Every structure is written in structure tokens, then in C-alpha cells.
Amino acid sequence: MQVLTVSHLHKRFNLEAGFFARFGRFVNAVNDISFSIGKNESYGLVGESGCGKTTTARMLVRMYEADSGEILFHHGEAAADNAVAVASLQKEELRQYREKVRYVFQDPARSLNPRMSVYEVLVSGCRRPLRRLGVSEKELREKAAAILEEVGLQAADLEKRPSEFSGGQRQRISIARALLMEPELLICDEVVSALDVSIQGQILNLLLDIREKRDMSFLFIAHDLKVACYFCDRIGVMYRGELMEEAPAAELYKEGLHPYTQLLFSSAAGINEGGKSPPSLQPAYGGLPLPPSKGTPSTGASAAASCSFAPRCPQAAECCFREHPALCEIGAGHSIRCFNFKK
């Protein structure tokens, strides 16, 4: 059963910014992305900074409007028959959709209002809809306290300010805020990348516990492929706004086939191979080991007429610079965008 289906999503931005910027040159931030997220499934989007992961996630909640493509939300028990086109939602319908699909941002220090108490941070966005459902202020406070304890904090912390907490604790508050309306899908945008290595595993294990307890689905965005393999069921590897490879996480971890997937793995630090404890990884923003360039790297300013990864690819052939490869399925649930792999 699917919760969210994304089909042929596109988004471009003007290459220049400002009042006097010229119009007509664009960056293709997201270029024909398609994927789906099932019930109680964690789907990962992985890639370097600037590859289009966050742009994709923000289109799912209409923070950005898609240029083209379709986003379908499958709601309720008969989800297959209740698919709703997200682009068509207006006002109250959009608000209700955003209650079911919640977003957790990368930096909790910027997403939590420092002037509010933790209690106000948690309930400020949902007090009115809950009041319409007959939830009293006392019941709302009890619900907030219970969720705060669920994420590993204490009920007494409701009266404190976000500035009194560490980065990991603030991220727990952000997760608690997202859970208050009992969503069906949680979008986690780089939720561990700004945290100390020792705290990353705690947050990942917390999300795993929440998923098991609440039967929730996740879109997990990360730059570190090994972290995503630990948390996710399926993973899509993005580069220059495109999916380069998509496969079950266990299969991708065992044998990532695309040269870019292999490059992401090689850029990460070691991982506990036993798989019983979360990975202890250093951030891998940029700085990927690059082979000698064989051409001019794509800037994303136009739709690629060749493989966008070809200038960095150690396996690039002549055809890679002349033609644009399609995303082809090479096995059950395993697709790749590369001329070196054909079904």
C-alpha cells in the first residue's frame, strides 16, 4: 500500500537572483524525479549538497510549487481509491494534508522560535484544529507532555526555552512537534547531519522506535549513503537533480553499481559492519574524491544532452558525452541510469 507517489517531478530556478537579474537562464534543480513511499516504509534520498534532495522534499509539502509532474497522497484505509493530487489542494485541504505529512528541518536552532516555551513551540501550529475536535487546553498539555517523553525528554521541559537545550535535544523537540498531529508520513531533512557523531545514532534509533510504534512512513534525506542504508528500506541516489540509482538499501549497501553510488560510499567514514549499532560517521559535505575530469562538468543550467556525471566518471565512454541515459530497471526494484548496465 502506497502513502505517497511522485511522478516525473520537475523544478527549475532562475540562474541569477536580484531585481536586475536577467531572466531566461535556469538551473534544473529537479529533473524528472519519480518514486513512491509505502506504508511503514522508509525511503531515502541521498546525494551531495545541491543535488536537489531538499527541493524535492519541499515540493512534497508545497513549500515550492512544482513546474510539472504529479504528487499523489494516498490517505485512509482504502488508500488506493483515495489518492489526492497535492497540487490541487487549497487552503483548508492543504492544511489538513500538511498535518498528515510533517516536515522536520535540518537545523533545530533556526526552526524553533527562541521566544516561545517548548509547550508553545509544540502546540502553536495545531491548537486551533485540535480545539475544533474538542480537545481542551488541559488535554492538549497532557498530549504534549506525553509526546515529549516519547522522544526522550521530560514533561517538566515544557516550560523551558529551546535555547536551554543541546542540539540533539532541540532536534528531539522538532520531532515531537511533528508527531503531535499524528502524521502518516514524516519528512526528515538532514536531521542528523548537524549533530555530533555520538548523538546521530541516538536520533536514528529514536526514529526507528517511532516508526515501529506508530506504523509511520518516512522520507529520509541525507548526504551520507551509509547512514541512509542503516535507516532506510529503499534508497534513491540523486545527482544534478536526477535519480542515478534506486535499490533496496541492503542491496545498495552490498553492491552499489553506479559509479556515483560507489563514490558516495568511498567518501564516507567507516561503519560498524555488524549492523547492530548505528554508524558513527563524519559529515561528508562536498570534498568527494574526484577522478581526473574528462570534460566540462554540467552546471545544470540546461537539460542535459549527455550523462551529467560523465565528466567525473572513471568509467565514462564516448557515448556518455553524446547521449543522456534513461533510468532502466536491471533487477527487481533496482534501477540505474548508466550505459554500462542494461537489462
The predicted-structure confidence for 20-48, as pLDDT tens digits, reads as follows: 556 667 888 999 999 999 999 999 999 99
Tens digit of each residue's pLDDT (9 = 90 or more) over 170-228: 999 999 999 998 999 999 999 988 788 888 999 999 999 999 999 999 999 998 898 99
**What's the DSSP call for residue 187?**
E
Total residues found in the chain within this entry: 343
The yes-or-no verdict on residue 335 having pLDDT over 50 is: yes
| Residue that the C-alpha cell 511503514 belongs to | 40
Produce one character per residue of 146-168: b if its CB has 16 or more CB atoms within 10 Å, e if not. ebbebbbbeeebbebbbeebeeb
Lowest mean pLDDT among 80-94, 173-187, 235-249: 80-94
**What's the DSSP call for residue 21?**
-
Query: Number of H helices and number of E strands within the chain?
Result: 11, 12
The yes-or-no verdict on residue 127 having pLDDT over 80 is: no
| Side-chain half-sphere exposure of 342, counting CA atoms within 13 A | 3
Mean pLDDT of 281-291: 41
Q: Are 221 and 33 in contact (CB under 8 A)?
A: no
Distance CA 261, CA 240 (A): 13
**pLDDT score, position 151:** 95
**pLDDT score, position 64:** 95
**pLDDT score, position 24:** 66
**pLDDT score, position 75:** 78
The mean predicted confidence, pLDDT, of the chain is: 85
Domain 2-18+26-115+161-336 has CATH 3.40.50.300: yes
Q: State the sign of the Cα–Cα–Cα–Cα dihedral 235, 32, 69, 11.
A: positive
**What's the DSSP call for residue 291?**
P
**pLDDT score, position 80:** 57
Mean pLDDT of 283-310: 55
H or E element, residue 273: none
**pLDDT score, position 116:** 92
Per-residue pLDDT band for 79 (boundaries 50, 70, 90) equals: low
Q: Are 277 and 201 in contact (CB under 8 A)?
A: yes
Going from N- to C-terminal start, the domains of the chain cover: 2-18+26-115+161-336
Tens digit of each residue's pLDDT (9 = 90 or more) over 49-77: 889 999 999 999 999 999 999 999 997 66
Alpha helix (H) residue ranges in 166-248: 167-179, 197-214, 225-231
Distance CA 153, CA 3 (A): 30
Per-residue pLDDT band for 244 (boundaries 50, 70, 90) equals: very high
Closest of 158, 222, 142 to residue 188, by C-alpha: 222
How far is the CA of 1 from the CAs of 4, 40, 249, in angstroms?
Answer: 10, 9, 19
**pLDDT score, position 107:** 83
Q: Are 199 and 23 in contact (CB under 8 A)?
A: no
Q: Which residue has the higher pLDDT, 88 or 281?
A: 88
Instruction: Spell out where 258-306 has E strands.
Output: none
Mean pLDDT of 276-296: 42
Mean pLDDT of 314-326: 90
The yes-or-no verdict on residue 284 having pLDDT over 90 is: no
- Record the pTM: 0.86
Distance CA 127, CA 65 (A): 27
Q: Which residue has the higher pLDDT, 107 or 329?
A: 329
